[in-house]
């Protein structure tokens, strides 16, 4: 599929696709918009799992969402969060469209009440998931504080 629209990839990936050896992949990786059956903004509750709350978490992509099942204390993070060993971290910068939004989304997630998290690409964390996210945020804060000294 050939498209003249800009590809919805982070700048690093877009630059790589401009390189001569990778340029043929641009047309293969073009993404056509699909039909939208339900427009979600965040804050809605879907009538499954006793009420599945939509959390708008932009950054990886503008329309990224997480799903919170409060009764199960379970978060479906999609690609907003990932697992790095025992740590829970945000999606890598190289595959994020807006890293500032990613950080803001992680802060929103950290304010939610959950214990378990299922990721888009890794094994779930079945206990203390929110605590691990708070640890990561504290680590980031310490690094920022040290950079001002």
15 and 64 share one domain: no
**Domain membership flag for residue 59:** yes
What average pLDDT does the structure give for the chain? 84
Segments forming the whole domain that contains residue 56 = 45-147
60 and 22 share one domain: no
Give the residue, 21 or 135, on which the prediction is more confident: 135
Highest mean pLDDT among 11-15, 60-64, 135-139: 135-139
**Domain membership flag for residue 40:** no
**Domain membership flag for residue 66:** yes
**Domain membership flag for residue 79:** yes
Q: Per the structure, how many domains does the chain have?
A: 2
Compute the average pLDDT of residues 103-123.
Answer: 96
- Kindly indicate the confidence band of residue 15, based on its pLDDT and cuts at 50, 70 and 90: low
77 and 100 share one domain: yes
Q: What's this model's pTM, rounded to 2 decimal places?
A: 0.77
**In the predicted structure, residue 90 carries a pLDDT above the cut 90:** yes
What secondary structure does DSSP assign to the chain, as a single string? ----SPPSS-HHHHHHHHSTTTTTHHHHT--PPPPPSS---SS-EESSTT-EEEEE--SSSTT-EEEEEGGGTEEEEETSEEEETTEEEEPPGGG-S-HHHHHHHHHHHHTS--SEEEESSS--B-SSHHHHHHHHHHHHHHHHHHHT-
**Domain membership flag for residue 39:** no
Compute the average pLDDT of residues 78-89.
Answer: 93
**Domain membership flag for residue 54:** yes
């Amino acid at each position: 599929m050939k498209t003249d629209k800009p590809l919805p990839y982070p700048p690093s990936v877009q630059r790589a696709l401009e390189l001569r050896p990778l340029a043929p992949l641009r047309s293969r990786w073009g993404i056509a918009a699909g039909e939208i059956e339900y427009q979600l903004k965040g804050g809605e509750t879907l009538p499954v799992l006793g009420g599945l709350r939509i959390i708008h978490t932009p950054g990886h992509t503008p329309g990224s969402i997480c799903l919170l099942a409060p009764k199960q204390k379970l978060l479906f993070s999609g690609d907003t969060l990932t697992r790095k060993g025992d740590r829970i971290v945000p999606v890598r910068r190289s595959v994020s469209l807006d890293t500032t939004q990613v950080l803001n989304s992680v802060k929103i997630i950290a304010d939610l009440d959950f214990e378990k998290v299922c990721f888009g690409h890794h094994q779930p964390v079945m206990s203390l998931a929110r605590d691990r996210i708070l640890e990561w945020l504290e680590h980031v804060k310490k690094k920022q504080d040290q950079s001002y000294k």
